Chains A and B, each alone.
Chain A
Amino acid sequence: MYPEFGRDPRNLRLGLATDGMNPYGNLSSKHSSWPVLLIIYNFLYWLCMKRKYMMLSMMVSGPRQPENDIDVYLSPLIEDLRLLWDEGVEVFDAYEKVNFNLRVLLLWTINDFPAYGNLSGYSVKGHHVCPICKENTSYHQLKYGRKTCYIGH
């Protein structure tokens, strides 16, 4: 779709992963921080998920989780990503000893289902939770288990 982007193998493809974690372990059970990691998919697939090659781009700290307001925290990152996509930045290639214009594409986000709702803006609670079936999600409220089950998925 973007051939001039794909032509240069040095252009980066990123994945964005986020989830709530508790920095204090079981010392304080209410705290929840949200690290936002960027993963470079240009690396070999057994390297790109190693700690050495992941980038902690930001840390949404605070005692409570940001929920839907995570957009506000993410907007500086998105600004940078826009700059990296629209214009790119001048970067030195140490192998060929030349400067080149580096551009970056954010490929996808990786998260669990509640965080999926926060990032994509889709509702992940209640009856219409399937992001593919939308309003036509088939659900069934169990009378005794007091849970909703989604039959037909």
Chain B
Amino acid sequence: MKRNHPYRRLKKPFHGCQEDKTAPPPLTGDEVYNRVSHIEVAYGKTVKHSGVKNIWKKKSVFFELPYWSKLDVRHCIDVMHVEKNVCDSIIGTLLNIKGKTKDGINARKDLVEMGVRLELQPQPHGKRTYLPPACHTLSKSEKISFCNYLRGVKVPQGYFSNIKSLVSIEDLKLMGLKSHDCHVLMQNLLPVAIRGILPKNVT
């Protein structure tokens, strides 16, 4: 994020203090090599010895390659994987699928613990606790219209799997999403689907 980005000065929407640090520079290959070069590891099953904990576990075999420490990017994270996980979490939270949602009572309690977003704290009502709806919470009719939109989407051939089979109106769920489905959902369909339903500051 840029030095003067307006989000940096906002306190309330985030964890309550201004952010003025810049991103740390990543280690170059030579620096990593200097850190790991002295580590000696025994492979296989070993007796666990307690001692000084090191965040580096081993000297990777790739350092046997003479050019490895000169490369700028040595390891890439699988973007397909990450996108799928993010998509699953978003869909689970939006449709409030049991077991998939990230917006449960423990999450709300943690918000209180950290002292942010106090309007969302759980309120006890007798035996039950009431979770106030967050800005991304969908009501039942909104969920139905969301699912109906996804069922009715028409896409070019070979662009997307048959989405009608993925949406189930009865349970208001999306099932069996493959990673490509998640990609299309995140990139194209989801922004359009929630544009009419959720308030403007979310979309």
Contact = CB atoms under 8 A, between A and B. Distances in A.
A pairs with B: yes
Interface of A: 1-2, 15, 17, 19, 68-69, 71-72, 74-75, 78-79, 81-82, 85-86, 105-113, 116-117, 119-123, 128, 131-136, 140, 142-146, 151-152
Interface residues on B, range: 35 or more
Contact of B106 (A17, A85, A145): A145
Given A86-B66, A111-B76, 8 more contacts: A1-B70, A72-B43, A75-B61, A105-B67, A107-B71, A112-B81, A121-B60, A123-B55
Interface-central residue, A19, A71, A151, by most chain B CB under 10 Å? A71
Contacts of A1: 70
Contacts of A134: 27, 55
Interface of B: 15, 19, 21, 23-27, 36, 39, 41, 43-44, 55-62, 64-68, 70-71, 73-78, 81-82, 105-107, 109-110, 113-114
A74 B58 CA distance: 14
A45 B135 CA distance: 41
Q: Is chain A's binding surface mostly helix, strand, loop or mixed?
A: mixed
A81 B65 contact: yes
Contacts, number: 115
Contact of B61 (A17, A74, A85, A151): A74
Contacts of B21: 152
A16 B8 CA distance: 38
Given A69-B44, A134-B55, A143 B24 contact: no
22 contacts: A71-B61, A72-B43, A74-B61, A78-B61, A82-B64, A85-B66, A106-B65, A108-B74, A109-B74, A110-B76, A111-B76, A112-B82, A119-B60, A119-B62, A119-B75, A121-B36, A122-B57, A123-B57, A128-B55, A132-B24, A132-B25, A133-B24
